[in-house]
Amino acid sequence: MGRLAYLDCFSGVSGDMLLGAILDCGVPIGDLRGELNKLRLDGYQLSARKVTRAGLSATQAVVEVARGPAPRTLDDVLKIIDKSTLPQEDREKGARVFQRLAAAEARVHGETVETVHLHDVGAVDAIVDVMGTVAGLRLLEVDELFASPLPAGNGTVDGPHGRLPIPAPATLELLARANVSLLLADGEAGELVTPTGAAIATAFASFKRPAITLERTGYGAGSREIEGRPNVLRIWLGERAAGGARQMLLVETNIDDMTGEMLAHARDKVLEAGAADVWFTSIQMKKGRPGVMLSVICSEAQEETVTRLLLRETSTLGVRVRLVHRWEAEREVLEFESSLGPAAVKIKRLPGEPPTLAPEYEACKQLADATGLPLAAVYRIVQSEAQSKL
């Protein structure tokens, strides 16, 4: 099962808090610096230190910038990301965050996405926060991201155009577009959710708490002390608890003008992107034309990646998406040395029932090719020998 991360935002969320929590979860800072070096972005230094916030130990990520922030447009930022050597998926995710930021800034300032200047959120430290978070979650092998409701904060904050109410207008716009629940803050909390933090969370996270088998936690410190509360973001890291219902998406499209080979290529690309399942259904379309319905099951966080792939790799002009619930059994893969050679079986476990085994096709095919035995005979031998090992 894929790894989950849950953002426990009881004191809010910001880019530096996310970086700190990721480092606190065990990502070496050298590895994170190595990923960020692929941006070819100069004029900053990333460091980390252990601090305490209201008695809690946390990691504070510090991005020191050599010069003041340059007001960039969305196109400026996207060019920086696109010219990097980060993985394609990282670049797409980073672009998604800044596209959200630009849309929110344009809306509250009465400008267009193309012309609005991003000021602080387009500065070097914001780019480092966003792309560092994207790369850091990848290094933690996080497949799905979840988040708690966010605290609203209170008071005012200085912006490039003067003093602004909290939540800052761009932050509130981002949260409104994602229909995020806001919690009233007690005391003089100040700004708890920054535009960068809001953009990252709303771009990737589902705002609910999943059933999780906890592996470890990480604490990322904010830059200031807040009286009466630890100013930290907490990440819960682990795997989805087995045997429960999982909310996922069903993405579908109807196609009647592609070859089988091209459809198979699209299927493979979607599976490589992390979709849980892909299948084809024969259908009859307009004017009696035979066609296929391409169906994909994926997580909510993968919606944009999957839909973009379908639009790019198939002839479709649109896809439909709806929420579904998928119940999953606990599963694991057992690799062992059989009498025929290296083998693997998938083990399915249900509460109160004995486990069941299914030999893995690719491993069995290699054994059949190597031994000359029929594939069915290899399946029987591998299953029998694996059963004896349970």
Kindly state the tokens that stand for 18: 């996310």
Kindly state the tokens that stand for 230: 């630890």
Q: What pLDDT score was predicted for residue 118? A: 82
List of residues 6+ apart from 257 with CB closer than 8 A: 315
HSE at residue 127, side-chain half, CA atoms within 13 A, is: 32
Range of the domain at 300: 245-327
Q: Where a domain ends, among 240, 267, 285?
A: 240
Q: What pLDDT score was predicted for residue 361? A: 94
> Three-state SS string across the chain, please?
CCEEEEEECCCCECHHHHHHHHHHCCCCHHHHHHHHHCCCCCCEEEEEEEEEECCEEEEEEEEEECCCCCCCCHHHHHHHHHCCCCCHHHHHHHHHHHHHHHHHHHHHHCCCCCCCCCHHHHCHHHHHHHHHHHHHHHHCCEEEEEECCEECCCCEEEECCEEEECCCHHHHHHHHHCCCCEECCCCCCCCCECHHHHHHHHHHEECCCCCEEEEEEEEEECCCCECCECCEEEEEEEEECCCCEEEEEEEEEEECCCCHHHHHHHHHHHHHCCCCEEEEEEEECHHHCEEEEEEEEECHHHHHHHHHHHHHHCCCCCCEEEEEEEECCEEEEEEEEECCEEEEEEEEECCCCCCEEEECHHHHHHHHHHHCCCHHHHHHHHHHHHHHHC
- Note whether 223 and 266 are same-domain residues: no
List of residues 6+ apart from 125 with CB closer than 8 A: 15, 16, 44, 63, 65, 69
Q: Where a domain ends, among 219, 240, 261?
A: 240
Q: What pLDDT score was predicted for residue 244? A: 61
Give me the helix-helix angle, 195-204 and 169-177, nearest 10°.
10
Indicate the number of domains in the chain.
3
Q: What pLDDT score was predicted for residue 69? A: 58
- Note whether 42 and 190 are same-domain residues: yes
216-263 pLDDT per residue, tens: 999 999 988 888 789 999 999 998 776 566 788 999 999 999 999 999
Q: Where a domain ends, among 209, 240, 271?
A: 240
- Note whether 198 and 302 are same-domain residues: no
Low-confidence ranges of the chain (pLDDT < 50): none
- Note whether 233 and 149 are same-domain residues: yes
Of the candidates 171, 143, 179, 193, the one whose C-alpha atom is nearest the C-alpha of residue 300 is: 143
- Note whether 173 and 36 are same-domain residues: yes
- Note whether 174 and 30 are same-domain residues: yes
- Note whether 235 and 251 are same-domain residues: no
- Note whether 213 and 358 are same-domain residues: no
- Note whether 210 and 269 are same-domain residues: no
Kindly state the tokens that stand for 37: 């070096």
- Note whether 259 and 167 are same-domain residues: no
The whole model's pTM is what? 0.68
- Note whether 222 and 129 are same-domain residues: yes
Kindly state the tokens that stand for 294: 């391409």
Q: What pLDDT score was predicted for residue 70? A: 66
Angle made by CA atoms 110, 168, 119, in degrees to the nearest 5: 65
Kindly state the tokens that stand for 131: 């792309």
Q: What pLDDT score was predicted for residue 325? A: 84
Distances (CA, A) of 301 to 200, 315, 377: 12, 24, 41
Q: What is the gyration radius of the CA atoms in the chain, in angstroms?
A: 24
- Note whether 304 and 264 are same-domain residues: yes
| CATH value at residue 266 | 3.30.70.1380
